[in-house]
Copies of this chain bind each other. A is one copy, B any other.
């Protein structure tokens, strides 16, 4: 997706440790014009599937998943990370490791909102180590729903994310695929 490539080159900041900061337009401050284009692109790429729910995980996936769900006219569900005292007792749970926060966490989705009749599109902002997406896939497997595919805004192809989820034979679409980040320079695949 050219608009996204351009924006990453213009405003993305490469930090040591293969970190790409896109918090000026994607995951702290969000440029809503770009966001709408991202939602339109996911609609185009998954348009042939009869999607009934869009699934993501809080927090930075929510905006992207919401505009995508608006395009498909279906509900968006976001997996929760924290223990809330108001949460349902009937939950799908899956553990993932956050490399950003350097700790594991448990992702939770109420059993009411994803069921075996659903066809789910999984959306997230990043695919790097693959932990979050793998846990979302695991939750879909627990729910015995169909998975329409996995839509990723930015994939770092040099990290193990895609490898971890490739064997599920899912339709994966990444809008920007970064193969290298050397000396502050981003190279797309």
Q: A58-B59, A84-B101, A100-B84 given as contacts; is B30 within 8 A of A66 (CB)?
A: yes
In the assembled complex, the Cα of A134 lies from the Cα of B49 at a distance in Å of: 43
Task: List the number of copies, as a whole number.
Answer: 2
Interface segment, one of A67-75, A146-154, A181-189: A67-75
Contact for A83 among B15, B82, B101, B109, CB less than 8 A: B101
With a cutoff of 8 Å between Cβ atoms, the chain B residues found around residue A59 in the complex are 58-59, 62, 78, 80
In A19-33, the 8 Å CB interface with B consists of: 19, 21, 23-24, 28-33
Q: A29-B75, A59-B80, A77-B29 given as contacts; is B86 within 8 A of A35 (CB)?
A: no
In the assembled complex, the Cα of A84 lies from the Cα of B100 at a distance in Å of: 6
With a cutoff of 8 Å between Cβ atoms, the chain B residues found around residue A31 in the complex are 75
Binary B-proximity of A99-133 (CB < 8 A = 1, otherwise 0): 01110000001101100000000000000000000
* Residues of chain A whose beta carbon lies under 8 Å from any beta carbon of chain B: 15, 19, 21, 23-24, 28-33, 35-36, 53, 58-59, 62-63, 66-67, 69-70, 73-78, 80, 82-86, 88, 100-102, 109-110, 112-113
